[in-house]
Amino acid sequence: MVALGLGLGLDPPNALVRDAPAGDRTGLDLRAVWPVGAIAAASALITVIGLKASRSGPTPLGGRFLEIAEGFVLLTLVSLAPAVFGVYGHTVRSLTG
């Protein structure tokens, strides 16, 4: 959430900058905010579970759960990295029609 806020602060959407003085905040698409928060919360939860399990040693079932959870976190990072670099721009979106 901090990275999202910093990114919006440093490079806000043009519609938000143009329409915000008039009180119109529709330029900020809130549909892009909640997935970032959900991913951050899931990552924090998995980190806490991983730190707790490292002290007591994971059970075989817990260890397997952590491996699967780590895989999901890595998959989300793979999909977020192109978004950070702007790959999902107009060109890629236009491929679907």
- pLDDT, residue 30, reads 60
Model pLDDT for residues 52-91, shown as the tens digit of each residue? 767 777 788 878 987 998 899 899 888 888 777 777 776 6
Number of domains in the chain: 2
- pLDDT, residue 80, reads 83
The amino acid occupying position 34 is: W
Q: Are residues 21 and 40 in the same domain?
A: no
CB-facing half-sphere around the CA of 42: CA atoms within 13 A: 16
Q: What is the CA radius of gyration of the chain?
A: 18
Q: What is the pTM of this model?
A: 0.37
Contact of 49 with 69, CB cutoff 8 Å: yes
Please enumerate in sequence order all residues whose Cβ is within 8 A of that of 23, keeping only pairs 6 or more positions apart, or say none.
none
Q: Are residues 11 and 42 in the same domain?
A: no
- Average pLDDT score, the chain: 75
Domain residues for 53? 33-97
- pLDDT, residue 13, reads 64
Greater model confidence, 87 or 19: 87
